[in-house]
Amino acid sequence: MRLKALLFDVDGTLADTEQEGHLPAYNAAFGELGLPWHWSEELYRQELLLLPGGRERIRHYLLKHKPQLGSHGAAIQRDLCAWVNQVHAAKSRWFRHRVEAGKVVLRPGVRRLIVQAHSDGLKLALVTNASQRSLAPFLNHTLGQDLLRCFEFIVSGEQVEHKKPAPDLYLEALSRLGMTTDACLAIEDSAMGLCAAVAAGIRVLVTMNSDTLEHDFTAATAVVSGLGEPENPWNVIRDSGRLNGARWATPSALNLLLDLPESIEA
The catalytic site residues sit at 9, 11
Spatial contact of 87 and 33, defined as CB atoms under 8 Å apart: yes
238 membership: H or E segment, kind and range: strand 236-238
Spatial contact of 6 and 124, defined as CB atoms under 8 Å apart: yes
Distance CA 115, CA 121 (A): 10
Distance CA 86, CA 96 (A): 16
Distance CA 131, CA 136 (A): 9
Distance CA 184, CA 174 (A): 9
Distances (CA, A) of 259 to 197, 206, 228, 254: 18, 17, 21, 9
The beta strands (E) that lie in 66-194 are given as: 123-127, 153-155, 184-188
Residue 154: CA count within 13 A, CB half-sphere:
17
What is the side-by-side strand order in the sheet with 236-238? Answer: 153-155, 123-127, 5-8, 184-188, 203-207, 222-224, 236-238
The torsion region of residue 150 among left (phi > 0), alpha (psi -120 to 50) and beta comes to alpha
